[in-house]
Structure 1
Amino acid sequence: MRLFKPLFNFYINSSLHVALAVYALTWLTLLELELGYNEIILYFVFYATITGYNFVKFFGVAKFRHKKLTGWLKAIQIMSFFCFLLMCYYGAQLEQETLVILLVFAMLTFMYAIPFLPQRKDWTLRHVGGLKVYVIALVWAGVTVGLPAVNTRCEMTFNVLLLLVQRFIYVVVLMIPFEIRDLKFDNSKLETIPQKLGVNKAKTLGYGLLFLFFGLEFLKHNVNNTKMVLFIVVMLTGIMLRYAKIDQGKYYSAFMVESMPIMWLLFVFLFG
């Protein structure tokens, strides 16, 4: 048991869990668009997520707040280096059109973490009021939907565009519990959703977005996955949102909320 807790903390803090969530969302896209299992895309997304998230952390944007983490920092850096090499390996096998899109998202990630001017450390995309959650949602939607669609030369149909919008909406909802948790840390100038609306209204907005997210499914044609699975995902995400609070447990958002995409994929395999 003594070994389990530090290993679990390493799993969370090294971005392995968030990488699995992005991996799961990408696989869900492949399933819905009937593109088949694509090892290159999935592995690239997994390793790129670890590389990107840990890059942001190491540059002090998402600062480690727990002293116990510092003992694992070197191990996380070493792991991130090997993940970067693997990202490059799988990235070299992607289509040229995909690499162009990836360059855009790489620039967004860079601008999110690195100040535009060295002397102004607060001049990053993260510090632009009200922008943080939408930048993250845009990158997640682009990587988990746009990337597999472009790389497999999938036709950009109405269904694909709807899926992009749905994924963007869903990630915004997933971010709300994190922003509620971070209310006691975030500078008021960030103008996060809970800062602007308050906790209760932020949750109400989240419920409305979940309703919209589910409703858009009925506009699609010949959808592969079942609406029952999506309904379960919406209900469970709504419950996660309902019980999010400022003084939430250490793993509530970082593990439980972040697990929703993984659970979604499991539900598709079980009930789809």
Structure 2
Amino acid sequence: MALATYSLTWITLLQFDLDYDQISLYFVFFATITGYNFVKYFGIAKFHHRRLANWLKAIQVFSLFSFFGLAYYAYYLILNTKFLIAILGIITFLYAIPLLPRTYFVDDNSNLRQISGLKVYVIALVWSLATVLLPTLQNEIIVNNDVLITVIQRFLYVFVLMMPFEIRDLNYDSIKLGTIPQRIGIKKTKIIGILMLIPFFFLEYFKDELKANQIIINLIITFITALFLVFSNKEQSKYYSAFWVEALPLFWLVLVLVFR
């Protein structure tokens, strides 16, 4: 997953003709590891450190080193970028920690992750801001029409990218989560995903700086992502989403580098 966000951030830099920005890229990489492990394992670990299994302790140590990497590169971020990561940090914190009033939640966890149907929207929002707005702010690019369109495109793409995972997790997710496949079924979920890929592709034509190679790249990645969505199901193989779907941003990056 960290490689996916790293790839999407690098894609942004290439799309706006920016140099390889080690600070932005490595910050996003380490922040993804730290944030993901925090959200995923906080509910398991909480404060029972002495009774943690060895594998979970290893993850905590790995996450700690990733946090050190995050902190190191965060030090070199400019002020505007730090404001953005503060907002993203708060969203991530609320996504995992039970602080908000329980009347808004489906159970007693009281975090954003448990609000019915909200999970995929939060992830898409955080990823789109982190992989588009963060590197552009860090490189002092004016947030213009092209940047805003790219943020919307990235939100749509990440949203669709989450759908094979949502379909896979139908076997495991509590019905209280109200995921899209739980609410409308697998077939309609796939239809919505395909429909969302249409504006993802055609929004490129509304940018002030239109590039022919980017149109070709978007067409290829749209087609391949649509195929992975169409063929996803509840009984998908272990690596279908966890490897192949997660690898799509890396494939997108390779396309951008090849067609550059």
TM-score (norm 2): 0.91
The percent identity for this pair of structures is 49
One-letter code aligned to 1:169: L
Structure 1 residue 189, shift from structure 2 partner: 2.0
One-letter code aligned to 1:60: G
Q: How does 1:142-221 map onto structure 2 within 5 Å?
A: 142-221=129-208
RMSD value, Cα: 1.7
Distance 2:88 2:100 in 1: 20
Distance 1:71 1:200 in 2: 41
Distance 1:141 1:117 in 2: 24
Distance 2:22 2:240 in 1: 30
Question: Are 1:32 and 1:223, in contact at CA under 8 Å, matched by a contact in 2?
Answer: no
Q: How does 1:1-272 map onto structure 2 within 5 Å?
A: 18-60=1-43, 72-116=55-99, 121-224=108-211, 225-272=213-260
Moved over 3 A (4+): 117-121
Distance 2:68 2:139 in 1: 23
Question: Are 2:146 and 2:209, in contact at CA under 8 Å, matched by a contact in 1?
Answer: no
Unpaired runs of 5+ in structure 2? 45-52
1:31-61 Cα distance to aligned partner (Å, 9 max, x none):
1112211001101110110010011122138
1:66-123 Cα distance to aligned partner (Å, 9 max, x none):
xxxx653333222211111011000000011111111111111111111116997421
Distance 1:236 1:73 in 2: 35
Provide the aligned length of Structure 1 versus Structure 2: 247
Distance 1:72 1:223, change over 3 A: farther
Equivalent position SS for 2:20: coil
Distance 1:226 1:49 in 2: 26
Unpaired runs of 5+ in structure 1? 1-17, 62-69
Distance 1:174 1:140 in 2: 11
